């Protein structure tokens, strides 16, 4: 009986430790931002697939941060960032002025919504627009880094990445989430499938001066063969996605 009592006490102690670790891993300001009733129902319906709490924890975003989101599309993560950084932080959404509907060039209107008064819209293509409000604590892009490589945009990726490196504060992080292509494929499938080789992304970031700090498997799907367009009904919403955190050296 004495041993049973010790076992029960140990189990209770471990429960407390794991609960504390869980609370630390999911700060209240993140769970509150995800639970914000102002978020559209279309966004919250996607939460089980997009794992917003896990993504925010991985990005290490916190109240007071200045966040730059590249090509935010409909604003799914942008609204959450707004809630996390709070009134003392700010979110800058970089909207491209060229491209097509699949590259999300149009304004999503969030910056004009009073509920998101800490959001500013930037013209990503305007000279100096991204640098104007630098330095940023976090730069983020989800499912859209590959769009920067679309042939029709004719972008200088090395110059763009160098500019983002400069705009990020020393010690800041750059998070890239995207649809995985076959390893070694480079940008072969970017135009036709909207996928990108994660090894290419890692190389481009390294060349720009970033250090790969961590990777998350939370959006991985080993059943994805990497052979379908990401908008194909057979895989849409369930693509294999890599999640990478790069850091700008502090000095």
Percentage, residues of the chain above pLDDT 90: 77
Whether residue 18 is contained in a domain is answered as no
Residue in the structure block whose two tokens are 């800041």: 172
Report pLDDT for 224: 98
Q: Based on the structure, what is the number of domains in the chain?
A: 1
Whether residue 134 is contained in a domain is answered as yes
Give the three-state DSSP class for 90: strand
Report pLDDT for 101: 52
Whether residue 79 is contained in a domain is answered as yes
Whether residue 4 is contained in a domain is answered as no
Does residue 69 register a pLDDT over 50? yes
DSSP code of residue 180: B
Whether residue 8 is contained in a domain is answered as no
Percentage, residues of the chain above pLDDT 70: 86
Does residue 100 register a pLDDT over 60? no
Does residue 172 register a pLDDT over 80? yes
Segment 107-119 mean pLDDT: 93
Whether residue 22 is contained in a domain is answered as no
Q: Which of 40-49, 99-108, 142-151, 241-250 has the lowest mean pLDDT?
A: 99-108
250 — pLDDT class (breaks 50, 70, 90): very high
Provide the strand spans (E) within the chain. Answer: 66-70, 90-95, 119-123, 136-142, 168-179, 211-216, 241-247
Report pLDDT for 251: 82
Report pLDDT for 8: 42
The enclosing domain of 138 has a CATH number of 3.40.50.150
Shortest CA distance to 57 belongs to which of 247, 245, 241, 202? 245
pTM of the model: 0.87
Beta bridge partners, 242, equal 178
Beta bridge partners, 136, equal 168
Report pLDDT for 126: 81
Whether residue 20 is contained in a domain is answered as no
Report pLDDT for 88: 98
Q: Which of 21-25, 152-156, 229-233 has the lowest mean pLDDT?
A: 21-25
Q: Which of 28-32, 65-69, 120-124, 230-234 has the lowest mean pLDDT?
A: 120-124
Whether residue 11 is contained in a domain is answered as no
CA distance 234 to 126: 37
5-19, 20-34, 145-159: which has the highest mean pLDDT?
145-159
Q: Give residue 197's domain range.
A: 29-247
CA distance 163 to 34: 30
Segment 234-242 mean pLDDT: 97
97 — pLDDT class (breaks 50, 70, 90): low
Q: Which of the two residues, 130 and 241, has the higher pLDDT score? A: 241
Q: What are phi and psi of 70, to 5 degrees?
A: -90, 130
| Radius of gyration over every alpha carbon of the chain, rounded to an integer in angstroms | 20
């Amino acid at each position: 009986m004495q041993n049973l009592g010790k076992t029960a006490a140990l189990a209770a102690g471990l429960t407390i430790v794991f609960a504390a670790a869980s609370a630390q891993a999911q700060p209240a300001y993140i769970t509150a931002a995800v639970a914000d009733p102002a978020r559209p129902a279309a966004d919250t319906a996607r939460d089980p697939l997009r794992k917003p709490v896990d993504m925010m924890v991985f990005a290490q975003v916190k109240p007071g941060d200045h966040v730059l989101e590249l090509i935010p599309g409909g604003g799914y993560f942008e609204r959450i960032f707004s809630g996390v950084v709070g009134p003392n932080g700010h979110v800058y959404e970089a909207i491209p002025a060229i491209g097509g509907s699949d590259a999300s060039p149009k304004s999503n209107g969030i910056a004009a919504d009073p509920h998101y008064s800490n959001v500013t819209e930037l013209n990503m293509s305007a000279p100096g627009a991204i640098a104007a409000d630098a330095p940023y604590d976090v730069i983020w892009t989800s499912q859209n880094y590959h769009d920067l490589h679309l042939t029709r945009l004719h972008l200088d990726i090395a110059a763009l990445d160098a500019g983002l490196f400069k705009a990020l504060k020393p010690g800041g992080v750059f998070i890239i989430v995207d649809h995985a292509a076959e390893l070694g494929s480079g940008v072969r499938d970017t135009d036709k499938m909207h996928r990108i080789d994660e090894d290419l992304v890692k190389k481009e970031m390294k060349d720009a001066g970033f250090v790969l700090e961590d990777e998350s498997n939370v959006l991985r799907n080993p059943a994805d063969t990497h052979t379908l367009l990401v908008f194909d009904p057979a895989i849409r919403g369930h693509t294999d996605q890599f999640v990478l955190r790069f850091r700008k050296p502090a000095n």
